[in-house]
Structure 1
Amino acid sequence: MKNQSIKHFLFLTVIFLMFVNINTQAQNKQVKIACIGNSITYGSHLEDSERDCYPTQLSNLLYKVYGHNCVVKNFGVSGRTMLKKGPKPIWVEPKFSEAKNMAPDICIILLGTNDSRPDLWAKIGKEFYGDYKSMIKTFKKINPKTKFIVGLPSPIWKNHPYGGTAWGDKHNDSILVNGVIPNIKKIAKKRNVTSIDFHTPFENKVDLFPDYLHPNAEGAKIIAQMIFDIIEEKNMIQKVINKK
């Protein structure tokens, strides 16, 4: 009986130490999250862009659950396009190089708004799909286990002042709906990555977009919450920690 008690004690001790070791590894693992995007990601037109941008608000939500285990970095640059041949492609920006150097575990891509100019889309819109696929491949090459969340851009209302003086130079919601968004949906399906629709939920919430294009702090908060919810739904943090 005494030997059985000792064996039982040793067995429980081993199980306990294994649990402690696994838990310690999980606590020490930092999940790197990169937010790639344009002015909406950067936080343009917010009273305090650093505090109110969606990446910071997402970081705050994750901190409440995971503490310091999640590191969220904002690599948004205003006015940038996914199109490599666009007037201001994100590809050549130092921030994009920084994002690649981070080798993120989770990569959130929210681009396409600045690709929606009628003149630009008519000229090289057919290259959007290939350039988007190339971005996913770029990060996959650096970190094959990178998980992606691709965003369908929020609405563009016709009263916005950006893109030029002529209507043909202005970012256009119909191009988002009929060109950009279908391409992103196709990418998500083909590459088996997670997508989030930021367009439909905001269509009747123009009050959250004071300049008819950029969300205010409340709008950015909703974007952050939607991303947080999908990260939790897909159990992404634990999958990264467990290297799945």
Structure 2
Amino acid sequence: MRTLLSFCYLFILISFISCGENSQKKGEDHTAESEQKTTKTIPSQNTKVILFYGNSLTAGMGLDPNEAFPALIQEKMDTLGLQYKVINAGLSGETSASGKNRISWVLKQKVDVFVLELGANDGLRGIPLAETKKNLQDIIDIVKTENPDTVIILAGMQIPPNMGPEYTSEFKNIFPKLASQNNLILIPFLLENVAGIPELNQPDGIHPTAEGQRIIAQNIWPVIHEAISH
């Protein structure tokens, strides 16, 4: 299974990076629109905010926005009668650097729980690990400075071994190290039980199907529930 997964990743890597770069360009053209929509979402006084900040995995690329896992978390909140507004601030093609550049826009409102899901595009493009780690740390620092009471959840990510075993291993370790150093709640691997399973991913082999998104939501719900229970 690991050999098959590595082969699938290798096969789609080049096309995905190209897609990501095109999505990034398109995303940059629409960043202002995305930011405007985010900042216009003003919850009622008694409603708390959970903000998912990530790339195409969070945005639900290729799916209806209501099928992306942030929307599914909102459904769970509503079913349980919990007064939380979930905001999907995912942007296709986002890297840790571009995420750092737009973070101030999404923090124009009070955020109670901030879920950081970035880094996958960095790893697939072979961006130096120190740069990725620094960008993620800077985002964490900005959130803490702007909203000291915000609970931060860091979504762990893994990449195929195409960049070599050392890079792959160190990339995976960035997330638990940052979580430990900053006292964050960690989602060990966002795509657990989804990555590498053809029927749970779209034809590109990277982006989850609607069913894959449901599994992600099920995986991360206990982490979200822990965060809002403190």
Deviation by residue 1:125-170 (Cα, 9 ceiling, x = unmatched): 32211211111111111111111111112666x9xxxxxxxx8xxx
Q: Distance in 1 between matches of 2:86 and 2:222?
A: 15
Q: Distance in 2 between matches of 1:206 and 1:174?
A: 24
Q: Distance in 1 between matches of 2:209 and 2:196?
A: 15
- The residue aligned with 1:36 is 53
SS of residue paired to 1:102 = coil
Deviation by residue 1:185-216 (Cα, 9 ceiling, x = unmatched): 10011111111122443355332112211011
RMSD: 2.6
In the alignment, residue 34 of structure 1 is paired with which amino acid?
A: L
Q: How does 1:164-179 map to 2 (within 5 A)?
A: 177-179=168-170
Do structure 1's residue 129 and structure 2's residue 140 form an aligned pair?
Answer: no
In the alignment, residue 106 of structure 2 is paired with which amino acid?
A: A
Q: Distance in 1 between matches of 2:119 and 2:170?
A: 10
SS of residue paired to 1:61 = helix
In the alignment, residue 177 of structure 2 is paired with which amino acid?
A: K
- 1:90 CA displacement: 1.8
- The residue aligned with 2:40 is none
Do structure 1's residue 57 and structure 2's residue 72 form an aligned pair?
Answer: yes
Q: How does 1:206-217 map to 2 (within 5 A)?
A: 206-210=198-202, 211-217=204-210
Equivalent residues of 2:53, 2:90 under 8 A apart: yes
1:199–1:55 CA distance, 2 compared to 1 (3 A): closer
Equivalent residues of 2:58, 2:69 under 8 A apart: yes
Q: Structure 1 residue aligned with 2:180, among 174, 182, 189?
A: 189
Equivalent residues of 1:155, 1:213 under 8 A apart: no
- 1:112 CA displacement: 1.2
Q: Structure 2 residue aligned with 1:221, among 214, 219, 222?
A: 214
Equivalent residues of 1:148, 1:193 under 8 A apart: yes
Q: Distance in 1 between matches of 2:79 and 2:224?
A: 14
Q: Distance in 2 between matches of 1:132 and 1:92?
A: 11
Q: Quick one: percent identity of the two aligned structures? A: 25
In the alignment, residue 206 of structure 1 is paired with which amino acid?
A: P
In the alignment, residue 56 of structure 1 is paired with which amino acid?
A: A
Equivalent residues of 1:155, 1:173 under 8 A apart: no
Q: Distance in 2 between matches of 1:222 and 1:57?
A: 10
- 1:34 CA displacement: 0.6
In the alignment, residue 210 of structure 2 is paired with which amino acid?
A: A
In the alignment, residue 221 of structure 1 is paired with which amino acid?
A: R
Equivalent residues of 1:35, 1:108 under 8 A apart: yes
- The residue aligned with 2:99 is 90
Q: Distance in 2 between matches of 1:106 and 1:61?
A: 16
- 1:180 CA displacement: 2.5
Q: Distance in 1 between matches of 2:166 and 2:49?
A: 33
Show structure 1 runs of 5+ residues with no match: 1-26, 159-166, 240-244
SS of residue paired to 2:75 = helix
Do structure 1's residue 104 and structure 2's residue 105 form an aligned pair?
Answer: no
Count of paired positions: 185
- The residue aligned with 1:143 is 147
Please, what TM-score do these two structures have when normalized by structure 1?
0.67
Q: Distance in 2 between matches of 1:125 and 1:204?
A: 23
In the alignment, residue 95 of structure 2 is paired with which amino acid?
A: T
Q: Distance in 1 between matches of 2:111 and 2:167?
A: 27
